C-alpha cells in the first residue's frame, strides 16, 4: 500500500504543481492584456481631446506634497519637472504613488486600470512588484513579475522615465521612440543569454524585446514643442 501511495504521489504532485503554474500564468496573461488596453484607452482619451496635455495622467491623483513627501533621491519627480518631460498621448508612468512605502505605493498600474493590481510586499512574494530581486526599488517604469519560480522583468517606456533615468527605454543613453507607450517583456535578470530571455518571455506568451536592436533618436532640447511630441 505504501509503495502504491508513493507511486501515486510521484504522479499527482508534479501534475498539481503544473496545474497551479498554468492557472497563475493564465491570470497574468489577462492582467498584461488589461494593462495594455488601459494604455490604449488613455491614448484614445488624449487623442479625443484634440490636443495633448502633459498633466492628463495626474487628473486621477493629487499633486499636493508630491515633491515634499519624497526622499531626496526622488525629488526630481515634482510637478514642474514632470511638465517639461512628457508630451504626447501616452501616460508618463503607470503608477500613481511617488512616495516609497506610501499607502498606495503597492497599488500598481493605477493610471491605466480602474482596479489597480496589489503589488507584492517583498521580493519573495509571487505576483507583480516594484521591488527588485535584492529587495530594493528598481528603475521607475520597471516591474518584476514572479511566477512559476521565475522573476521576469517588464518595462514601460515614456520620455519622462527616460529623462529621469537614461538607462530606461534607451540604447547608448539615447531614447528609443518605438518603445514609447509600450509595456513589454525583457526576461529574467539572471538569464545570461538572449535565448534564455526569449524563453522567459515565451512562458507568458510574450515576445522578448531586445532594445539593443532598435533605432534611437537624439534627445530634443526640451519636450514641449508640439513638433517634438511622440
- Domains of the chain, residue spans: 2-228
When the pLDDT of each residue in the chain is averaged and rounded to a whole number, the result is: 75
What value does the mean pLDDT take over residues 197-213? Answer: 93
- Enter the DSSP assignment of 129: E
Q: Which tops the pLDDT comparison, 167 or 227?
A: 167
Structure confidence by residue, pLDDT tens digits, 74-114? 444 454 555 555 556 788 889 866 556 666 668 899 889 98
Please report how many Cα atoms fall inside a 13 Å half-sphere around the Cα of residue 136, on the Cβ side: 3
Q: Quick one: which H or E segment has residue 153?
A: strand 150-156
Cell numbers at 43, concatenated? 491614448
Residue-level pLDDT at 14: 55
Burial string for 88-127 (b: 16+ CB within 10 Å, else e) reads bbbbbbbbbbbbeeeeebbbbbbbbbeebbebbeeeeeeb
Residue-level pLDDT at 187: 92
Amino acid at each position: 500500500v505504501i509503495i502504491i501511495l508513493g507511486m501515486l504521489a510521484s504522479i499527482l504532485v508534479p501534475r498539481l504543481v503544473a496545474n497551479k503554474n498554468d492557472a497563475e500564468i493564465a491570470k497574468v496573461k489577462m492582467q498584461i492584456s488589461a494593462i495594455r488596453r488601459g494604455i490604449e484607452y488613455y491614448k484614445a482619451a488624449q487623442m479625443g481631446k484634440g490636443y495633448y496635455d502633459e498633466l492628463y495622467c495626474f487628473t486621477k491623483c493629487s499633486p499636493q506634497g508630491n515633491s515634499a513627501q519624497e526622499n531626496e533621491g526622488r525629488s526630481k519627480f515634482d510637478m514642474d519637472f514632470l511638465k517639461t518631460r512628457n508630451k504626447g498621448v501616452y501616460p508618463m508612468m503607470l503608477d500613481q504613488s511617488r512616495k516609497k512605502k506610501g499607502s498606495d505605493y503597492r497599488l500598481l498600474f493605477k493610471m491605466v486600470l480602474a482596479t489597480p493590481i496589489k503589488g507584492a510586499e517583498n521580493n519573495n512574494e509571487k505576483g507583480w512588484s516594484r521591488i527588485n530581486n535584492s529587495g530594493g526599488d528598481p528603475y521607475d517604469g520597471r516591474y518584476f513579475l514572479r511566477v512559476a519560480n521565475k522573476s521576469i522583468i517588464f518595462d514601460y517606456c515614456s520620455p519622462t522615465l527616460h529623462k529621469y533615468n537614461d538607462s530606461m527605454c534607451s540604447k547608448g543613453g539615447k531614447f528609443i521612440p518605438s518603445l514609447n507607450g509600450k509595456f513589454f517583456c525583457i526576461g529574467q535578470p539572471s538569464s545570461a543569454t538572449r535565448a534564455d530571455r526569449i524563453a522567459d518571455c515565451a512562458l507568458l506568451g510574450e515576445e522578448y524585446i531586445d532594445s539593443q536592436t532598435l533605432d534611437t533618436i537624439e534627445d530634443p532640447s526640451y519636450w514641449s514643442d508640439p513638433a517634438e511630441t511622440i
